[in-house]
Structure 1
Amino acid sequence: MSRLRSALWLPLFDDLADPRVVAGLAADAEEAGWDGCFVWDHLSWQPPVSRVADPWIVLAAIATATERLRLGPMVSPLSRRRPAKVARETATLDRLSDGRLTLGVGLGGDRFGGELSKTGEQLDDRRRGRMLDESLEILAAAWSGEPVRHHGEHYTVDDLTFLPRPIQRPGVPVWAAGFPGRPRPIRRAARLDGFFPINLEHPDRLAETVATLTELRRGEMASYDIAVALPPGVDPEPYAQAGATWWLPELDPGVPLDTVRGVLRDGPAR
């Protein structure tokens, strides 16, 4: 089994709503031996959080402040983003970072910030799931560098070519978020490059999910990633034994900057 890699996972609220602060944290993390820096993608959050940063601008700052770290939104609810715009953003960011972008995707939700209902976005989970899958089709086509001709249920891209392509081939790696045990997210993740389980409560549950993914992927797991977010202090080793390839310390929304620096100083998984 490959080494368990470690990434900061930063909610871009309040103390972390300044892109220069987050870029500095990422540079310090790289120097301290961390492997990645992923950021939340939200328009709003419930009180007492009041300040929110845009993830794509922050990721551009991280890309220019680091040389080695893997980076990306974890996760981006594609149903509230135009896929053609995301195609441009991801290709540009992958080139800016010299091929270090990972795109985390998911359904998103309205529970904590009302960011779907307050902006007139789709609230039905299944419909957002179809929008997510359609967006992923468009992104894969766009990253190929060939003309995209897509006329779907939710989106139209009529004979556009998205150049320059991302550095990574065949495109930017995509990890899908989902609850373990729910078949639709697992099937979606099996078609992609990684899985980001939500609310993972026990390594045995992860092992069950990994077994399902292995079966769906017909054993092709050598380059597949599984990222687990765990509260600081929880030993990631049992999850690594169950199949995790990435460990992300879970930080609360509105976390003080000093707390983040403490997690950073504690270092990556050994």
Structure 2
Amino acid sequence: MKYGFILMGEPNEVVELAQEAEQAGWDGVFLPDNWMTAWILLTAIATCTKRIALGTMLTPLPEQPPWYIAAQTATLDQLSNGRVILTAGLGVLELDKFGMQDNKVRAQRLDEALELINIWWQGEPSQTLTYEGRHYHLQEMQASVDWRTQRPVQTPRIPIWVIGGVKQSQLRRAARWDGAVINGKPDEIGKRKTAIEELREGLPLRDIIVEGETPPNDPERAGSIVRPFAEAGATWWLESMWEWEGISRAYDIRTRVRSGPPRY
């Protein structure tokens, strides 16, 4: 199992915490991406780290231009020598700032955007990109710079993680891509993993991702929390301390980062 940490806070603080996370043995850092700022912060982190994976948790793709995400992630993947992970979802419905309160429409936009991004990443220097969907339309688009700068290091693509929820549409989406973020108890993790792999005709899913919180100074307790998820098939544990505000909470998060990932 690999271990990531979802980081929040002021930009300089996040970059410092990411460096400390790498030093403490964490395998990845993941940032919320509500306003398209995560890739800027992840780029800063990439320049001062060498090993740690860099991702979002999560990018609300229906609200963001997919070609922007495709170019940003590919550039960062080159800069970081292949350390990027894209986690994409519908996002949280807050204000109707994009006029997309209909979850069916948001889901359609998500699926089309993922397809478009995957095509973009695999483009050749002389290739023109065309895409005709219900919500996105590109006709004979060609990058104004060498297309090689728009392609990621990782092959066949940057790993794409999506939500592996209870709906059949969510399971089908997870079966199409590389990783499923699943919330629930270990037995639920196992059930959905099986359901997704059945849709993949028995082909194992690359990653099963779970979120949770473990104590910083009790390795035995931390291990007991993580172990059942690993046994159920989870490949990533993301330490998620979502309640950020307050001096004491900021101290707790820094302490948890420094104490390193749980082990079992």
Higher helix proportion (structure 1 or 2): 2
5+ long unaligned stretches in structure 2 = 216-221
Number of the residue aligned with 1:186: 171
One of 81, 91, 107 as aligned partner of 2:74: 91
Q: Is this contact kept in 2: 1:149–1:157, CA < 8 A?
A: yes
Q: How does 1:1-270 map to 2 (within 5 A)?
A: 4-10=1-7, 12=8, 16-18=9-11, 20-43=12-35, 54-110=37-93, 114-115=94-95, 117=96, 119-146=97-124, 147-162=128-143, 163=147, 164=149, 165-179=151-165, 181-197=166-182, 200-221=183-204, 224-233=206-215, 235-255=225-245, 256-270=249-263
Q: TM-score, normalised by structure 1?
A: 0.86
Helix, strand or coil at the partner of 2:238: strand
Tell me by how many angstroms 1:72 deviates: 1.0
Kept in 2, the 8 Å contact 1:77–1:105? The answer is: yes
Cα distance in 2 for partners of 1:73, 1:108 equals 12
Amino acid at match of 1:269: P
- Cα distance in 1 for partners of 2:201, 2:184 equals 26
Deviation of 1:206 after TM superposition, in Å, equals: 0.5
Q: CA-to-partner distance for each residue in 1:38-79, whole Å, 9 max, x for gaps? A: 111124xxxxxxxxx821111111111210001111111110
8 Å Cα contact 1:150-1:158 kept in structure 2:
yes
Alpha-carbon shift at residue 186 of structure 1 (Å): 1.1
- Structure 1 consecutive aligned stretches of length 4 or more whose deviation exceeds 6 Å: none
TM-fit CA distance, 1:157: 1.8
Q: Is the 8 A contact 2:24 2:259 kept in 1?
A: no
Q: What secondary structure, in the 3-state scheme, does the structure 1 residue paired with 2:84 have?
A: coil
Measured on the aligned residues, the alpha-carbon RMSD in Å equals 1.6
C-alpha deviations, 1:76-131, integer Å up to 9, x for none? 11100011111111111111111100000011121xxx24x1x2331111110000
TM-score calculated relative to the size of structure 2: 0.87
* Conserved 8 A contact 2:85-2:159: yes
Secondary structure of the 1:102 match is strand
Percent of aligned positions that are identical = 38
The superposition leaves residues 178-201 of structure 1 with CA deviations (integer Å, 9 ceiling, x where unpaired) of 42x22111110111000012xx23
Give the gaps of 5 or more residues in structure 1.
Answer: 44-52
- In the alignment, the residues of structure 1 paired with residue 232 and residue 46 of structure 2 have an alpha-carbon distance, to the nearest angstrom, of 31
Secondary structure of 1:236 counterpart: helix
CA shift, 1:29, in A, is 0.9
Aligned length: 244
